[in-house]
Structure 1
């Protein structure tokens, strides 16, 4: 048999195993609210090839490809357990099992590693929590996609309505079309139908009422059967507590802003300070995409090395706030054509760090350049550390943070030598450390952090909403801080 034959046979074997994993992953998700992950990447609703690619990706960060032949026994062991709602990472299970020298079987080790999600320890399944989207632009539609995707067993978050201004004839049809097809993020994974008579979009069985209103005060959400909902404001029109309080109408319990909050509105970066949200807090912000990109790695570096001062330069994709062609704009420079120019502009991300990391004493400055790409940005984080280190040490530390730390859902890591911005479209992490671009000289470190400023940020928003609504389930196996 030739090498080519061996490779093809091996592929077919792995393809068959991945195919048999799909119903097991789906059943755990639908019936028990268990999300199966691989190095923080969900395997729910993934194709055979996607599952195999996710396993292969482990080669970049862990140094060796993770085979489905290694992870399948752990998945089979999970199906035999009395599991409650949880997130379970097969990559962590396989890695920790390899390092364990007690001679346990896969079934025994798995039962021990996820004991916090079984039997008397398991969390009871939550009742569905209503969610309303106020505004349906770039972030609103991506958050909608994520909420629909995560509907799972019907427990958890349930998108009940979107609120928009009336747009004339076939408004709801056009909005459904924008949800169905996206020039950057591709086609919606599923089916979408429209009932114009009832002003409803049905996406993968989720009936979403489209409410037309020019102002929050015009809506009584209880009229639509909505109770104790979390409203996500994607418009950015109101950013202080007084303005956002307008959303606290009948049927709405909490308001989450997808832009930096002003005044005393808490700016929350999931993974860093989401645990500080008070149970009775009704209004909070998810900060900006750039703040979400830089704060987790900044925290990681400060925890290990101490940060004395820093500067962040963001090279940011253009946004709807800019003009396609030169025209009047209230801000300086943003009136110039976005697809034709690099545009120097301001960023509030550096100043927002203090809200998310109040214990960080370092002064962080920042600036931004908008460039002619439609999505994915890069933040260059230049840090003076409190001690000298080496490139290899920082490289290995950040790789480990991306694999096993509490920030592993926020920080990703790539060693791909030919990586460019479009490779990170659809990333669910807040930022991705580019290992090849990392620079360290004594007490100075420069990190290059890619981030999908649309989709990665939307994932962070949904994580915050899951947390404040009580449907964010613990991840197993637990890892050291």
Structure 2
């Protein structure tokens, strides 16, 4: 190893305690060009800094010390913008934020619910402005708590969770990395009084998909202790938000919002960049999607066409609303996209094929460079990934935090006709998007509470 490498390694190691304190003690998330700097991995820090060789790591360390010494808490700081400032302390003081945490309730604890819990409670990671307080489920068996803990800890797709999960039977809770999370058993949202469990002004995330309209989800909102509701599925009569594209549409009056679907989140950021640069005349979205729990493992009756056939041994044609849903985030694409889906026998990671007619001619090189630049921007780093790997296959993208990853070597262009291939972890990548939306709503919730307090004074 070269001395330069060893020096960088030493500097990265020295930042781990600082980042840990920022997360644990002050709930501050530190980002570099949109990427979160985690306190659990020197390798992760080295990878992040390798993409930004212009950074002076001594200066980075000093800035982190100043953030820790400031009055800021429960917020996100962007490292690049702070480093660019001549007087970091004055900037931090001028934008001081020290709010309280918004409690989060997960209603449902299936594939997405458990991954949201993993992401929120990941070692070395912080979700500013919020903390997991409770999980609502139907009791499945006598040793339900132990089963829930095991499913959180061990996952056939995403591996063993690198955190401590314990069962507290006496208090009907899971202890996740030292923090108690109440398990509330209920068959109907109308049964739950969250304030009776010490939970107030909470953000509830409905992962069940059982209710998708405002009336159904309002039952949550009308329960004591719930302030806002997020739906992890396409929603009716509410804003469908793709973080990074139209999250600026959220205001304090939005009490119920949808995080749209995994496919909509995967394709919308890329379509947004292409629409801004070239303009999209029309197109078709075909998603080759991993099978889900909504399908049968072996042939059996199913209310939906074709989904009753064995998921593990068939390609199953079905429908997707993702193409139409894009226009809820990008209104200029209303009526311009069609879509369909094929479920295939893989357990996770899907790929969307975008066949687009653009308003102007372009080239493979121009589109790839455009999206590569977007993937490195602070605004879209979490939404757009970029792959140049010649041997890339679907399993390589398990655990991807981006909403969608362009397979640049597969891009095809002929005149104004472009075909793009976008990989996405339809479980974890989507869950990361939902958490980003939750963070935004927690900040809106904080500002709303702060405004009420000022008015009361």
* TM-score, L = length of structure 2: 0.90
Matched, 1:246 2:219: yes
The alpha-carbon deviation at position 446 of structure 1 amounts to 1.3
Counterparts of 1:174-185 in structure 2 under 5 Å?
A: 174-185=147-158
Change in 2 beyond 3 A, CA 1:116/1:217? farther
Q: Matches of 2:191 and 2:210 in 1, distance apart?
A: 16
Q: Which one of 252, 256, 279 corresponds to residue 306 of structure 1?
A: 279
Change in 2 beyond 3 A, CA 1:363/1:301? same
SS at match of 2:136: strand
Change in 2 beyond 3 A, CA 1:302/1:369? same
Q: Matches of 2:152 and 2:97 in 1, distance apart?
A: 33
Q: Matches of 1:416 and 1:113 in 2, distance apart?
A: 42
Counterparts of 1:422-437 in structure 2 under 5 Å?
A: 422-437=395-410
Q: Matches of 1:468 and 1:204 in 2, distance apart?
A: 24
Moved more, 47-56 or 131-140: 47-56
Matched, 1:408 2:381: yes
Q: Matches of 2:265 and 2:89 in 1, distance apart?
A: 32
SS at match of 1:253: strand
SS at match of 2:320: coil
Change in 2 beyond 3 A, CA 1:428/1:211? same
Q: Which one of 324, 328, 332 corresponds to residue 359 of structure 1?
A: 332
Q: Which one of 164, 171, 175 corresponds to residue 191 of structure 1?
A: 164
SS at match of 1:149: coil
The alpha-carbon deviation at position 289 of structure 1 amounts to 0.3
The alpha-carbon deviation at position 270 of structure 1 amounts to 0.8
Give the alignment's Cα RMSD to 1 decimal: 2.5
The alpha-carbon deviation at position 375 of structure 1 amounts to 0.8
Q: Matches of 2:425 and 2:204 in 1, distance apart?
A: 23
> Equivalent residue for 2:35?
41
Change in 2 beyond 3 A, CA 1:153/1:351? closer
Change in 2 beyond 3 A, CA 1:28/1:196? closer
The answer on whether the counterparts of 1:190 and 1:204 sit within 8 Å (CA) in structure 2 is yes
The answer on whether the counterparts of 1:77 and 1:110 sit within 8 Å (CA) in structure 2 is no
C-alpha distance after superposition, 1:285-319 (max 9, x if no partner): 11100011111111110011111111111011110
Matched, 1:26 2:11: no
SS at match of 1:416: coil
C-alpha distance after superposition, 1:184-230 (max 9, x if no partner): 11122211111112211010122111111110111111100010111
> Equivalent residue for 2:394?
421
The alpha-carbon deviation at position 345 of structure 1 amounts to 0.8
The alpha-carbon deviation at position 406 of structure 1 amounts to 2.1
> Equivalent residue for 1:147?
120
The alpha-carbon deviation at position 44 of structure 1 amounts to 1.5
Q: Which one of 231, 245, 256 corresponds to residue 204 of structure 2?
A: 231
Q: Matches of 1:332 and 1:117 in 2, distance apart?
A: 58
Moved more, 351-360 or 318-327: 351-360
Matched, 1:387 2:360: yes
Stretches of structure 2 that go unaligned for 5 or more consecutive residues are 447-457
Change in 2 beyond 3 A, CA 1:453/1:218? same
Q: Matches of 1:276 and 1:150 in 2, distance apart?
A: 31
The answer on whether the counterparts of 2:38 and 2:125 sit within 8 Å (CA) in structure 1 is no
The alpha-carbon deviation at position 419 of structure 1 amounts to 1.3
SS at match of 1:189: coil
Change in 2 beyond 3 A, CA 1:269/1:116? farther
> Equivalent residue for 1:169?
142
> Equivalent residue for 1:61?
none
Counterparts of 1:36-185 in structure 2 under 5 Å?
A: 36-56=30-50, 58=51, 66=52, 70-82=55-67, 83=70, 84=72, 87-88=76-77, 110-112=84-86, 117-120=91-94, 122-149=95-122, 156-185=129-158
Number of aligned residue pairs: give it. 441
Stretches of structure 1 that go unaligned for 5 or more consecutive residues are 1-6, 59-65, 94-106, 474-481
C-alpha distance after superposition, 1:231-282 (max 9, x if no partner): 10000001111111111201111111101112x1221111111111231121
Matched, 1:453 2:426: yes
Moved more, 29-38 or 187-196: 29-38
Q: Matches of 1:164 and 1:390 in 2, distance apart?
A: 51
The answer on whether the counterparts of 2:29 and 2:126 sit within 8 Å (CA) in structure 1 is no
SS at match of 1:350: helix
SS at match of 2:230: strand
Q: Matches of 2:336 and 2:127 in 1, distance apart?
A: 45
Q: Matches of 1:30 and 1:153 in 2, distance apart?
A: 8
The answer on whether the counterparts of 1:314 and 1:369 sit within 8 Å (CA) in structure 2 is yes
The answer on whether the counterparts of 1:132 and 1:161 sit within 8 Å (CA) in structure 2 is yes
C-alpha distance after superposition, 1:310-333 (max 9, x if no partner): 111101111011111111111111
Q: Which one of 310, 315, 338 corresponds to residue 337 of structure 1?
A: 310
